Amino acid sequence: MIKDRIKAVWVTRNRREKVLLAILASIMLAFCGRVYIFKPILAWQHASHQALLEAQQQLLWTERQKAAMAALHLAAKNREEQPLQERLEASLPSSLSIRQSENIGTNKVAIFMNDADLVPLIDWLSYLEMQESIRVIEFVFNPERQIYQAILQEEK
């Protein structure tokens, strides 16, 4: 029915009108194809590419975190195996020096320092307590001999 009507109208048109209608139909077809086919495909492709980039970034971040955690675990393991005196010397800032250190039982060390500035010494001792789990049990200053003495204990 509709097909017959379209054929009847098409036959009555002259050649110029047929060409114009064909051009108009092709323009409409191209516009609809672009709007309803190509744009959604390009948007989907762009979204897929963005999701892939985000997944790659998350994977890279996860791998970095995994490596950092492994390094921390290894450092903690090495730190536990390292004697307390060596750990103290390794964490000591360059402005301080230990004159003498003595083991006092299990996980306890007495250190003696002379000619040390008080502020860097206190900073170092607080670092030991906060980061290294080494507690300051006793801290004494002998003004006659200009010697600082600290007794440190490792908490396990």
Q: What are the sequence ranges of the domains in the chain?
A: 2-78, 84-154
Report residue 104 as tokens.
């006092």
Q: Helices 118-131 and 84-91 sit at what angle, rounded to 10 degrees? A: 130
Give the global pTM: 0.49
Classified by CATH at the fold level, domain 84-154 comes out as Gyrase A; domain 2 (3.30.1360)
Is 88 within 8 Å of 152 (Cβ atoms)?
Answer: yes
Q: What angle do CA 68, 73, 74 make, to 5 degrees?
A: 95
Bridge partners (DSSP) listed for residue 102: 110
In terms of residues, how long is the chain? 156
Res 22 pLDDT > 70? yes
Q: What is the pLDDT of residues 91-143, one digit of tens each?
A: 888 888 888 888 887 788 999 988 778 888 889 899 888 888 889 999 988 87
Report residue 132 as tokens.
């290294």
Report residue 31 as tokens.
């516009």
Q: What is the pLDDT of residues 37-87, one digit of tens each?
A: 889 999 999 999 999 999 999 999 999 999 988 888 777 676 666 777 888
